[in-house]
Structure 1
């Protein structure tokens, strides 16, 4: 009976928090549904309403909800995998590897800078400055014990800077770009579409289970992304030209954003806001340093190759797959290259950096104890 009551409270809390997402969605900013739900959920969490008993006990949402959100997000990212991405990675392998190493090095340096000049702990600082996207990094940060709320704020600042600056710079330099033909993202009802959707879900669940068994960071996100990606790559072999026609409407992604945002917000309290002004200022400066560095690198790559400067900026920008892919379509950049580079960086970041962050954090704690 108590479990049923908590379930009802969870659903009520998610519905209330989604009102924040609905409101912010009219602003047009990236990941508005997640951010709006996060901030309203944070307010509700801090109020400790008597209608939400699980909040008064500081238990947060049942893990079932964020796992569903991560699974949906993993399937969405997995559908960006295709054979053309493999060709792109092969053509520009050396450039992409150099970019990945540079991104990781600069992310760690930015995190250390934030840690040194703010009151945020090292683990939170490192996850906040890592260019993995607004959805992915707070999710993993929450699982390893970092302050997901602070991570969300720093990630949001950086992504908003990237999405705002790149279109302005593109207009100033007036770089010609090739219009890339893309398939409509509008999902339609069809028996084959539902079959492909079911196969993707099964592949994502198997990937999540495998990721959990081999101890992937955020297995419901990383494992499901790899599982769905593998299925998406194999689909053309058995479904001819039907690959990519899975029924996956935008409303599913909105639901995932609401779940992830609400889960992060459910653990927020007013004590987290101490010293946040300094954190935001340092986070802004470190994000600007990271963005300027990647833009300089993009300019160099565009001069050495035939890839346009705008495409390089979007591919190497510390923004995240979903945000940069959307911006690439709007600016008529090479979406395939952008998604390929951003996806590879996301996989590298999600699988390589968390253990490095744990090592740095543990080393810092041991040094402090001495």
Structure 2
């Protein structure tokens, strides 16, 4: 890492930490995610060069995955019997959100069909941007609209849960934490499995590696306990900072139209997703906080971390977001069709 990159990373850590402390001071829900995300976004739009090293980001994904899997108990497996009905609604929700958003972008903002579809994809940011780079579309609009969605949902989802008093009374994590040697071994094995998943091109591979290892060791009783807060809290701060860095290097002026379009569409999909989550919660008996986070079209890693922080069921949330990403991987090339020609 060059000196300039090291300086940018250190400045990012400093601003992200300050954002978290401010969010704590004003009693924001999920302050370790929201505070850094907002602070880094503002600093990036102001012209500062900020970045989070890819290696650090990847380690955070593994840690979040391990923390999710640590919540899986025999009681959770019993509760999962009601999830198939909820799973059925995931592709339905994805199709509704995709086509409503796309119609709005074409009708009111005059974007072409391919740009509107890619900008409207409810998730799978890296995959969508890869598709956008290979098609005839407005790549800047797709990038901005998708980044606005991730940032807005990071901020609004915990606020909705907090305002309506849906935060779980008890943490979903085990009451005690793993010892340091066990934690290190779990993270190491999770990272190895995650790299294998990367070779297989699975979505959110590093996070899934942590989930798989953590679930298998906890459900068998081989390992017990959760990830300690001294590791989780910095992980949340870094993850929030990663979200904010997506707006670095661009100005508000050149992003105005795309920013407005992304913001309006995000409001619409948030309302639709909340309505679907409410129906799923009513029909299946799944707690509303978990359903809201599970159907919010935000980033998998961010929503998984949020589930842990807000004491929702992270296993339920993670399973639904993984299904959403897998469905989008198949759906997007199909809906783009022949119009998505390579450049």
Same fold (TM over 0.5): yes
Q: Which runs of 5+ in 2 are unaligned?
A: 134-138
TM, length-normalised to structure 2: 0.73
Give the aligned partner of residue 191 of structure 2. Answer: 205
Deviation at 1:232, TM superposition (A): 0.6
Partner of 1:351: 326
**Does the CA-based 8 Å contact 1:315-1:341 persist in structure 2?**
yes
Aligned to 2:12: 17
Is the contact between residue 191 and residue 209 of structure 2 (CA under 8 Å) also seen in structure 1?
A: yes
Are 1:223 and 2:205 matched, yes or no?
yes
Q: Does 1:36 align with 2:24?
A: no
Aligned equivalents of 2:113 and 2:18: distance in 1? 33
Distance 1:156 1:185, change over 3 A: farther
2:67, 2:226 within 8 Å by CA — same for their partners in 1?
yes
Structure 2 residue aligned with 1:253, among 233, 236, 248?
Answer: 236
Deviation at 1:76?
A: 0.7
- CA-to-partner distance for each residue in 1:56-95, whole Å, 9 max, x for gaps? xxxx96xx92243033123313421224444332x21332
Residue equivalent to 2:338: 363
Residue-pair matches, total: 318
- 5+ unaligned residues in a row in structure 1: which ranges? 1-5, 47-59, 330-334
Aligned pair partner of 2:224 in 235, 242, 258: 242
Whole-angstrom distance in 1 between the partners of 2:78 and 2:288: 20
Q: How much has 1:11 moved relative to structure 2?
A: 0.8
Higher mean C-alpha displacement, 340-349 vs 294-303: 294-303
Write the mapping of 1:135-214 to structure 2, written as runs, cut at 5 A: 137-138=124-125, 145=133, 147=140, 148-168=143-163, 170=164, 179-180=169-170, 182-183=172-173, 193-214=179-200
1:283 is matched with 262
C-alpha change, 1:93 and 1:85, in structure 2 (3 Å) is same
Q: Distance in 2 between matches of 1:37 and 1:72?
A: 17
RMSD: 3.9
C-alpha distance in 1 between matches for 2:168 and 2:239: 33
Shift of 1:112: 1.6
Deviates more, 1:306-315 or 1:344-353: 306-315
Note the C-alpha offset of 1:346.
1.9
- 1:273-324: CA deviations, max 9, x gaps? 53x4343443343333323333333443444344455554444344523234
Instruction: Compute the displacement of 1:108 (Å).
Output: 1.8
CA distance, structure 1, for counterparts of residue 47 and residue 175 of structure 2:
35
| Partner SS for 1:215 | coil
1:12 is displaced (CA, Å) by 0.3
Hey, what's the Cα distance between the residues in 2 that align with 1:347 and 1:7? 35
TM-score where L is the length of structure 1: 0.69
- The 1:41–1:13 alpha-carbon spacing in structure 2 relative to 1, beyond 3 Å, is farther
User: Tell me, what secondary structure is at the counterpart of 1:242?
Assistant: coil
Could you tell me how far apart the structure 1 residues matched to 2:321 and 2:258 are? 25
Alignment check: 8 A CA contact 1:158 1:288 kept: no
Q: Is the 8 A contact 2:86 2:280 kept in 1?
A: no
Are 1:323 and 2:306 an aligned pair? yes
What aligned pairs does 1:63-82 form with structure 2 within 5 A after superposition?
Answer: 65-81=53-69, 82=72
